[in-house]
Structure 1
Amino acid sequence: MRIKKIAFLLCLFAIVLGYCFAYKVDAQTPKPINSIATIIYDMQPPHEGMPNGVPSHYSWATKPGVGSNNPKQFKAMTAWGQLYESAKGNPANNTRVQIKNIKAYYLSKLDGKWHVLQSSTKVEGAAYREDFIGNANTAPDIRYESDGSVSVKAGNGYNYHFWPTTGRATINPYNVRAIFTTVQARLIVDNPKKRDDRSQARYLLNMGGDYWLNLTVKWDNWKTNEDFGMGKFKYVTRKWQAFNMITLPPDQIRRNPPPIK
């Protein structure tokens, strides 16, 4: 009886230990920042808030949308994003927006798979006039973070328009069924010696992308490029979020889920 009792206790201990280990592994496994549900949500109108300084007659002022899903003569592309203050105001003075992991993929007509076009931890860009008139821009308020990302501020009539550091990517216009672009962002404190005012911050961010004639051609009033879509403007929060743009409708997104890592 003593041997059976010891064996039973050892068995019970092993089961409890196994449950504890499984719980610990599950607790330490990070949840993905992005999801298929988020990607679908990011293409559904309206925006969570209106970006400051964007004229109401602009097609993207109030809602996301797909531009052209046909590259035609365009043989290059780039993902891009936009950071704006909310039209309702942004009272936070000690908050920055940290941005990282911008990526672009295309869905191939030939093999039905998603393939990477662009990927960089760091983004680069400029502070453009909020209405983009004249393509006027200036140097952004940018800070380079220890993890390879950047953090920025926007305001005073300017946004932060950004893209991958890898430059444009070549595409075969006859093999592109869809394009997907994504980035991650969160609010961080600007100066740790001052009051944390992130709870007052009202920053909006979205993702999009353009087709280009080639890898090096310059912008010429939309003669050399064309947008393929723009995602929902969402409020940036303290937690990392994914911001997405995709040219597929919801039913096709579910049937052809893009990478979310």
Structure 2
Amino acid sequence: MLNSHVIRPARKTAQAEHARKNAKSVWAGAVSALIAVSVAGCGSWDDVTVAQTGTTAAKELSGDTTLTLSKFDTGAPAVPAPTTIDKAVDAPSANTTSGTGSVIQTALVSSTPLPAPTSSATPAPTPAPTPAPAPSPSPAPSGSSGTVSTQSNAGATVNSVDTILADMQQMNDLPLLNVNPVYGWAHGPGYVQMGNIPRYDNTPGWWQSSNSSLVGNGYLTHMLPWMVQFEGVGNSANNTRIHIRNLRAYVLSRSTGTWNLTHSADQLGGYFCPQDGNYYGCSISGNQRAEPSGGYSIKPQAGLNFHGYFGGRRPIDGPDVGAVFVTFEGRLVVDNASAGDDRSVAKYLIQVGADYYPGDTSTVMMPSVGLSRSKLLTNDWKAFNMVTVEGAGLHEPGGGMPMAQFLSNPPPLN
């Protein structure tokens, strides 16, 4: 069956272009964020056209599938949001346990509950674009049900609390090839957008101005984690793959102080998109390879960035969200052993994040939960992280777990 979803791109007005120029000088002088990760949201898009043949092609990376999309820059508020947004529905990825996404509780350093959400978004610790208007109370959605995989590959933990915070606070390791430097995410640091307040009214002003009819709709009910692979300036590798494992997403419960596992996988669904940051002409990726040590690898394509996602859209309890944490491990491996090892000249970077959705079949696109800086891959395993914490990254409008509580009750590190 052929599924086709089309979204017209938002027009750039003279005012938007003027604001974009202003944003460029602001981000160049300070810190800016949002390395937009292509599909599945990475924040939001302003044009998506999907033509898909086959029942599971989009998630299992098979079948005759093409995707064309344009994603606007959530890190630079000058870019207008679309009035109508649509996208193919995300199904569960390979290597994940089927179900509707109930959570699995994990051990804590501290079980102190977080305070209940306030009537307004948490103020940003650093200067940010126009904040969202004060939110109004909304009814809570129904709870989650089902199961999630808890698989984990063997190996020493490579993550730490310091690494998690650095992934949000530091700038990108390298300039991103062919990405317009006007975008905040082209530089870093990380970005907390909707954060731990998954309500329509906790969105940036530029999104609300084009989606005013949705602002009073209350809480969003689903979440999808994602990543984006960028090529750094100076890359000359062509026989290197990116090996990824232990993809995880957690939501902190306000009421119990427990980090609940919502997503778990070792393989991504995803797309290759042009590097200009607009994400037109994307196509389904079919080059993932299972690695003998566990996990899967992708082969970067010249002139393209890979945008991946995992686990499908899974239910969340909006009013109980105290923080969101997305993490996985990545390294460089050789593609073809007989063609030589060129990893020493490889310059590939990864950004990680998540998006909220109104449902598992909704076609409405929202701003991101948050996203990390772009960090360089090496031959050794590294952790790549996004977390919604106050004082970590830029906020627009934001909403994060207090830093002191994060330090006393950090998320699982493996």
Structure-1-length-normalised TM-score = 0.81
What SS is found at the alignment partner of 1:47? coil
Which string of whole-angstrom CA distances, capped at 9 and with x for unpartnered residues, describes residues 20-78 of structure 1?
xxxxxxxxx95411111110111113111122232222231111111112101311001
Residue 123 of structure 2 aligns with which residue?
A: none
Do residues 71 (structure 1) and 202 (structure 2) align?
no
Residue 170 of structure 2 aligns with which residue?
A: 45
Letter in 2 for 1:239: D
Decide whether aligned partners of structure 1 residues 135 and 227 sit closer, same or farther in structure 2, where only a CA change above 3 A counts.
farther
What SS is found at the alignment partner of 2:227? strand
In the alignment, the residues of structure 1 paired with residue 358 and residue 231 of structure 2 have an alpha-carbon distance, to the nearest angstrom, of 32
1:100–1:183: 8 Å Cα contact kept in structure 2?
yes
Q: Give 1:154 deviation, angstroms.
A: 2.4
What SS is found at the alignment partner of 2:304? coil
Do residues 239 (structure 1) and 380 (structure 2) align?
yes
Which string of whole-angstrom CA distances, capped at 9 and with x for unpartnered residues, describes residues 94-145 of structure 1?
1111112111001111101110110111122111223442653113343232
Residue 163 of structure 1 aligns with which residue?
A: 309
- Which moves more between the two structures, 130-139 or 50-59? 130-139
Letter in 2 for 1:95: T
Provide the identity percentage.
35
2:299–2:335: 8 Å Cα contact kept in structure 1?
no
Decide whether aligned partners of structure 1 residues 133 and 30 sit closer, same or farther in structure 2, where only a CA change above 3 A counts.
closer
Residue 229 of structure 2 aligns with which residue?
A: 83
Q: Give 1:194 deviation, angstroms.
A: 1.6
Letter in 2 for 1:235: L
Q: How many residues align?
A: 227
Match of 2:300 among 117, 142, 154: 154
Letter in 2 for 1:59: G
Residue 138 of structure 1 aligns with which residue?
A: 283
Rg: which structure is higher?
A: 1
1:154–1:160: 8 Å Cα contact kept in structure 2?
yes
Structure-2-length-normalised TM-score = 0.52
Q: Give 1:147 deviation, angstroms.
A: 4.5
- Over aligned residues, Cα RMSD in angstroms? 1.8
- Which moves more between the two structures, 69-78 or 29-38? 29-38
- Which moves more between the two structures, 205-214 or 127-136? 127-136
Letter in 1 for 2:244: I
Matches within 5 A, 1:182-201: 182-201=327-346
Matches within 5 A, 1:223-238: 223-238=364-379
1:40–1:253: 8 Å Cα contact kept in structure 2?
no
Which string of whole-angstrom CA distances, capped at 9 and with x for unpartnered residues, describes residues 177-222 of structure 1?
110000111000011112111111100012111111111223xxxx
1:203–1:236: 8 Å Cα contact kept in structure 2?
yes
Q: Structure 2 stretches of 5 or more lacking a match?
A: 1-153, 200-218, 391-402
Q: Give 1:157 deviation, angstroms.
A: 2.6
Matches within 5 A, 1:244-259: 244-249=385-390, 250-259=403-412
Q: Give 1:171 deviation, angstroms.
A: 0.7
Decide whether aligned partners of structure 1 residues 255 and 56 sit closer, same or farther in structure 2, where only a CA change above 3 A counts.
same
Matches within 5 A, 1:11-22: none
1:153–1:160: 8 Å Cα contact kept in structure 2?
no
Residue 160 of structure 2 aligns with which residue?
A: 35
Q: Structure 1 stretches of 5 or more lacking a match?
A: 1-28
2:180–2:186: 8 Å Cα contact kept in structure 1?
yes
Q: Give 1:149 deviation, angstroms.
A: 2.1
Higher normalized helix content (fraction of residues): 1
In the alignment, the residues of structure 2 paired with residue 106 and residue 136 of structure 1 have an alpha-carbon distance, to the nearest angstrom, of 33
Residue 208 of structure 2 aligns with which residue?
A: none
1:36–1:253: 8 Å Cα contact kept in structure 2?
no
Match of 2:273 among 103, 128, 147: 128
Q: Give 1:148 deviation, angstroms.
A: 4.7
